[in-house]
Amino acid sequence: MKISKEKFGQSFDALAAEYKTIAPVSDAAGVVNYEAVESFSEVKQNYLNSKLPPKSFFFPQHEKLLSYVKEGKDVTVKNELKVEKTILFGVRPCDAKAFLLLDTVFKNDMFTDPYYFERRDNTVVIGVACNKIAPTCFCSSMGFSPASSAGADIFLIDLGDSYQVEILTEKGKALAAVFPELVELTVEDQTLVDTIKSAQTTSQVDVSTITSKLEKFFDHSYWDTLQEKCIGCNSCTFSCPTCHCFDISEEVRNNKGSRVRTWDGCMAPLFTLHASGHNPRDKKKSRWRQRMMHKFNYFVHNSGDISCVGCGRCIKSCPVNLDIRQVIDGVNKAELVVN
Amino acid sequence: MNNIINDIRETARQLLADGKVDVVIGYEKGSLPLKATPCFVRSAQEVDRLIWDETCENNLASFVANTPGKKAIIAKGCDSRSLVVLIQENQLLRDDVYIIGVSCPGVVNKRKIEAEIGEILEATIAEGTISVKGMEGSKEYSFADVKDATCQTCRYPNPVIEDIHMGVTIEVSQSTPFADVIEMENKPDSERQAYFNQQMSKCIRCYACRNACPMCYCPECFVDCNSPKWLTGGVNRAENLMFQAGRVLHLAGRCVDCGACARACPQDVDIRAMNRKSAKDVLVMYHHEAGISETIKPALNEFSADDPEAFLVKE
Amino acid sequence: MEQNPYLPIKMRLIKNLVETEDRNINTFTLEFLNKQDEENFKYLPGQFAEISAFGHGEAPFGIATSPTEPGILKFSVAKVGCVSNALHLMEEGTMVGVRGPMGNSYPIEDFKGKNVVIIGGGFAFTTLRSLAVYMMDEKHRADYGDITVIYGARNPGLLLYKDELAEWETNPNINLVTTIDKECDGWCQRVGFIPTITEQVAPSSVNSYAVVCGPPVMIKYTLPVLEKLNFPPERIITSLEMRMKCGLGICGRCNIGTEYVCKDGPVFTMAQLKELPSEY
């Protein structure tokens, strides 16, 4: 079933009056990112993917957890969790899949992170299949494809002047109530849908055995040289839709302060530095190993899936071209020395 | 260029075979079109990995101090100036590094091409022409049109310090130095402010700029220091400007304008603009340019009673 | 909605006591403000809490009190970072924030019917004190066999809880061995490093557990002694330290392999640690 973009746009505009609405927008230089919009006319069409991942709408780079006022020896603490009903439009399959992975991080066997989940629960994710596939995309290797709907509440396929619509969840159903009646796909539409659905990324990696290989890989000499050119910045982790590590710090002025959390990353030496000066991951080698082990082994143990969705952002943003596809290949090819 | 690479490989082979160095720090072909990647060659058999062309954009001087053993480094003009500063600041012993100097015609600005024709699928470089196939179309560029901004204003394409030189030297263009800075200085405050506001709002504080910079070698950067805490974790244009401006001040008289920071920036922030202004001020006021000679004392290491103090705020 | 695990409860600092002669470690006694907060804060020996010094930040510290000591929590903290420095300077009566209890505890259920050997060095004695006090409590003492405590510091002035140790000396419920690194005037207990003293005391491993906490070097040399005494790795327990922020197993910095020290630890058996990467 489909809806014309014109009619969809009218529904979108009506919803945007009621919900905080986030969608891909292009800046003057042509860089696409997710931003608040008021009308469908602002939404970038035919974009590849956003430069930065949409995880920031559930897990902002900088957010106040609580604030406080100190008076004498006393203190008054206030919860700063604020949530708006939100629509996140135009999420690509890799990023929608990443939300499912992040869900397993922000809720574990003991705790639920209310800041993440209050936003997540109050947001409807409208996914859109990829019509174009970048040379750095490799989602097809990660168990899904450029037209996978997992993680979306409503999933669209762009057919030019209309969208094919799939309503996937109760949240999606509630939102779709404002759509006018959907119409049947034409034969041409169906052909286009089939083409988009069968598309695969041209870039592929083999992750079929990486998790088990990494089991016995911690002390492998591969880590010694792999990371030599890494400069230890966080452009890979900040551009990654599944990276979720954060710092908590204090922002204070006079007697007022707040506790904030900010994105952090395993590439920074300070990430694990104890107050005593001891640092369990004091070398680039141990930090790169952590990045790979976490994504391709530890995460699988703890959450049942690899924590990489093949979006390719880290490949594009790395200042020294340390390409995660090559790192995966390197692990695959490295010989296991059994001690 | 191809002859140069043969010479580089032969030199590297000799150095490694003779045991004069343990590692040659150079460039190899990257995984993306028009992108070379730093490489560390440790045996004579591996030297054919080395390449040299307009895609060799990283400043390899930032790897020298942390690479163990005796090393050789492939140095462009700007890289060699970084090495001079590192030697002057006692971060590196001259005898610990063998400098394979290469005159640099400039590196390519890949982003400019991608903005026009989308993500690059294939590219070839030949005789000053770059032929590119992008997701949104194909195009041939003359290298001069897509040269990195840093390289367009470069006045030191030839290494200022080296143990051996590869290829011919390049004639330095005689354009007005700092024309771009003068243009920025002449803009009204409001326009300048708007420009930097817009640039700073793009920064995501990944610190790629700082980490790509050979001069940013502090074990603890002021942004990471928690007592006193100079910066909050806030990522907004005011905090970002504090970070960038702090870096500019720390680099005053030290920045060699290699542009590695700007090329490393995943968000395409114009990081150089402020550093260039500082470089110009240091040149105008103290007649000093960072890293152009091992024997000239760095601007901040020398004091004279009649040093200009125009920047001081006086009661 | 479930309780927000990032929001601390308020507790009052009722005592800020200089614990060691070098004035580097203070013991903070915090008082619950109401019964409800105390009810919600049900903990066991070995657990820790995140303490907020408002205006400075939050840091994790092991709980030094035992759940058998109602109404209060105690923390003995060395002055090393931003938060610990602020706490050291804090006036009594000031409100601090507390999140917790966090992490797992010493396996006190497994200890039942067993002898327990507690080995501690320096200021890593805090949660060990909690454990000893818990087991010695009249309600619990009958659950356990012999309780031996081997505790050492560089010099007498650096021992924590000196008054309590003096009381333990004569308490028939516990066998206390204290030691210092080098001889000094007025010291009439043992002299020598923990591993050596452990070897001398030679606690029996029969039907016993050993709990070891201290500086890494002490642990490194004590483990072979315990092995020699035939303590199996499953019955050697230790507690780890890591840089932590959330304390909830989310922020990602305190993992050793698949385990988050804040949530899955800090207490591990040597058998468990042998299965994990040596990255701590």
Q: State which residue of chain C sits closest to A108, comparing Cα positions.
A: C249
DSSP string, B59-86: -THHHHTTS-SSEEEEE-HHHHHHHHHH
- With an 8 Å Cβ cutoff, are B233 and A319 in contact? no
Please choose, from the candidates B39, B30, B217, B65, the residue with its C-alpha nearest in 3D space to the C-alpha of residue A228: B39
- Using alpha carbons only, give the angle A76, A79, A80 rounded to the nearest 5 degrees: 120
Please choose, from the candidates A273, A268, A262, A272, the residue with its C-alpha nearest in 3D space to the C-alpha of residue A233: A268
SS3 B281: helix
CA atoms within 13 A on the CB side of B45: 0
Query: What are C28's two structure tokens?
Result: 């903070």
Q: How far away is chain A from the Cα of C262, in angstroms, using its nearest Cα?
A: 11
Please give the Cα distance from C162 to C149 (Å, whole number).
14
Radius of gyration of chain B (CA): 20
Please choose, from the candidates B171, B147, B167, the residue with its C-alpha nearest in 3D space to the C-alpha of residue B157: B171
Please give the Cα distance from A81 to C97 (Å, whole number).
18
SS3 B299: helix
Q: Does B185 touch chain A (CB under 8 A)?
A: no
Please give the Cα distance from A93 to A91 (Å, whole number).
7
Q: State which residue of chain B sits closest to A134, comparing Cα positions.
A: B119
SS3 B41: strand
**Which of A70, A114, A275 comes nearest C81 by C-beta?**
A275
The answer to whether C193 touches C181, Cβ cutoff 8 Å, is yes
Q: How far away is chain B from the Cα of A135, in angstroms, using its nearest Cα?
A: 6
Q: Does B227 touch chain C (CB under 8 A)?
A: yes
Please give the Cα distance from A260 to A55 (Å, whole number).
17
The answer to whether B62 touches B214, Cβ cutoff 8 Å, is yes
For chain B, where are the E strands, in sequence order? Answer: 23-29, 36-41, 50-51, 71-75, 97-102, 120-126, 129-134, 137-142, 164-166
Identity of the amino acid at A43: V
For A27-36, what is each residue's pLDDT tens digit?
A: 988 899 999 9
In this structure, the number of other CB atoms found within 10 A of the CB of residue C109 comes to 9
pLDDT over 90 at A311, yes or no? yes
Model pLDDT, residue C242: 87
Please choose, from the candidates A239, A240, A136, A235, the residue with its C-alpha nearest in 3D space to the C-alpha of residue B120: A136
Radius of gyration of chain C (CA): 18
- Enter the pTM of the model: 0.94
Model pLDDT, residue B304: 83
pLDDT over 80 at A338, yes or no? no
Radius of gyration of chain A (CA): 22
Tell me the mean pLDDT in the region C140-158. 93
CATH number, span C9-101? 2.40.30.10
Please give the Cα distance from B262 to B266 (Å, whole number).
9
The answer to whether B280 touches B165, Cβ cutoff 8 Å, is no
pLDDT over 80 at C1, yes or no? no
Q: Where are the domains of chain C?
A: 9-101, 108-239
Q: How far away is chain C from the Cα of B227, in angstroms, using its nearest Cα?
A: 7
CA distances from B128 to B104, B143, B154, C234 (A): 13, 5, 18, 69
Please give the Cα distance from C79 to C261 (Å, whole number).
22
Residues of B in contact with C82 (CB under 8 A): 226-227
- With an 8 Å Cβ cutoff, are A75 and C277 in contact? no
Identity of the amino acid at B181: V
Model pLDDT, residue B231: 86
- Using alpha carbons only, give the angle A53, A59, A61 rounded to the nearest 5 degrees: 75
Please give the Cα distance from A240 to A308 (Å, whole number).
8
Please choose, from the candidates A216, A232, A213, the residue with its C-alpha nearest in 3D space to the C-alpha of residue A288: A232
The pLDDT confidence band at residue A259, using thresholds 50, 70 and 90, is: very high
Residue of C79, C80, C82 to mutate for B, most B C-beta atoms under 10 A = C82
Q: Where are the domains of chain B?
A: 1-105+156-172, 110-146, 176-315
Please choose, from the candidates A157, A176, A180, the residue with its C-alpha nearest in 3D space to the C-alpha of residue A168: A176
Q: Does A254 touch chain B (CB under 8 A)?
A: no
Q: Does B233 touch chain C (CB under 8 A)?
A: no
CA distances from C206 to A310, B52, C116, C146, C238 (A): 54, 69, 10, 11, 19
**Which of A62, A316, A321 comes nearest B234 by C-beta?**
A62
Q: How far away is chain C from the Cα of B31, in angstroms, using its nearest Cα?
A: 30
Q: State which residue of chain B sits closest to C80, comparing Cα positions.
A: B227
- With an 8 Å Cβ cutoff, are A232 and B264 in contact? no
Q: Calculate what percentage of chain A has a pLDDT beyond 90.
A: 89
Tell me the mean pLDDT in the region A210-233. 92
For C198-229, what is each residue's pLDDT tens digit?
A: 988 888 899 999 999 988 888 889 999 999 99
Residues of B in contact with A321 (CB under 8 A): 30-32, 35-37
Residues of C in contact with A73 (CB under 8 A): 91, 93-95
**Which of B63, B208, B232 comes nearest A233 by C-beta?**
B208
**Cis omega (within 30 of 0) on the bond before B105?**
no
Q: State which residue of chain B sits closest to C57, comparing Cα positions.
A: B226
Query: What are A45's two structure tokens?
Result: 């069409």
Please give the Cα distance from B246 to B216 (Å, whole number).
12
End-to-end CA distance of chain B: 58
* A-contacting residues in B 119-158 (Cβ below 8 Å): 119-121, 135
Q: Does A238 touch chain B (CB under 8 A)?
A: yes
What is the separation of C-alpha B313 from the centre of its chain, rounded to a whole number of angstroms? Answer: 32
Residues of B in contact with C79 (CB under 8 A): none
The answer to whether B269 touches B199, Cβ cutoff 8 Å, is yes
The answer to whether A68 touches A77, Cβ cutoff 8 Å, is yes
For C40-82, what is each residue's pLDDT tens digit?
A: 999 999 999 999 999 999 999 999 999 999 999 999 999 998 8
* Whole-number average pLDDT of chain A: 94
Please choose, from the candidates B298, B291, B1, the residue with its C-alpha nearest in 3D space to the C-alpha of residue B156: B291
Which backbone phi and psi does B181 adopt, to 5 degrees?
-70, -45
The answer to whether B217 touches B251, Cβ cutoff 8 Å, is no
User: How would you list the strands of the sheet with A246-253, edge to edge?
Assistant: A74-79, A62-71, A256-263, A246-253
The answer to whether C223 touches C213, Cβ cutoff 8 Å, is no
- With an 8 Å Cβ cutoff, are C263 and A108 in contact? yes
Residues of A in contact with B35 (CB under 8 A): 321
Residues of chain B with pLDDT under 50: 1
* Size of the B and C interface in Cβ pairs below 8 Å: 4
Identity of the amino acid at B253: G
- With an 8 Å Cβ cutoff, are B120 and A135 in contact? yes
Q: How far away is chain A from the Cα of C183, in angstroms, using its nearest Cα?
A: 27
Please give the Cα distance from A220 to A228 (Å, whole number).
15
pLDDT over 90 at C278, yes or no? no
β-strand partners of C11: C32, C96
Residues of B in contact with A228 (CB under 8 A): 38, 40, 63, 67
- With an 8 Å Cβ cutoff, are A135 and B119 in contact? yes
pLDDT over 50 at A323, yes or no? yes
CATH number, span C108-239? 3.40.50.80
Residues with Cβ within 8 Å of residue A85, at least 6 apart in sequence = A18, A19, A20, A122, A123
Tell me the mean pLDDT in the region A151-173. 95
Identity of the amino acid at C236: I
Q: State which residue of chain C sits closest to B225, comparing Cα positions.
A: C82
The pLDDT confidence band at residue C140, using thresholds 50, 70 and 90, is: very high
Model pLDDT, residue B2: 58
Query: What are A76's two structure tokens?
Result: 């008054």
CA distances from A209 to A203, A306, A333, B194 (A): 18, 11, 11, 52
Q: β-strands A32-36, A20-26: how paired?
A: antiparallel
Please give the Cα distance from C6 to A67 (Å, whole number).
12
Residues of C in contact with B226 (CB under 8 A): 81-82
Q: β-strands C57-62, A154-158: how paired?
A: unpaired
Does the ipTM surpass 0.85? yes
Q: State which residue of chain C sits closest to A297, comparing Cα positions.
A: C258
β-strand partners of B189: none
Q: How far away is chain C from the Cα of A82, in angstroms, using its nearest Cα?
A: 13
- With an 8 Å Cβ cutoff, are A319 and B236 in contact? no
More confident residue, A163 or C202: A163
3-state SS, chain C, equals CCCCCCCCEEEEEEEEEECCCCCCEEEEEEEECCHHHHHHCCCCCCCEEEEEECCCEEEEEECCCCCCCCCEEEEEEECCCHHHHHHHCCCCCCEEEEEEEECCCCCHHHHCCCEEEEEEECCCCHHHHHHHHHHHCCCCHHHCCCEEEEEEECCHHHCCCHHHHHHHHHCCCCEEEEEECCCCCCCCCEECCHHHHHHHHCCCCCCEEEEEECCHHHHHHHHHHHHHCCCCHHHEEEECCCCCCCCCCCCCCCEECCEECCCCCCEEEHHHHHHCCCCC
Query: What are A146's two structure tokens?
Result: 């450029």
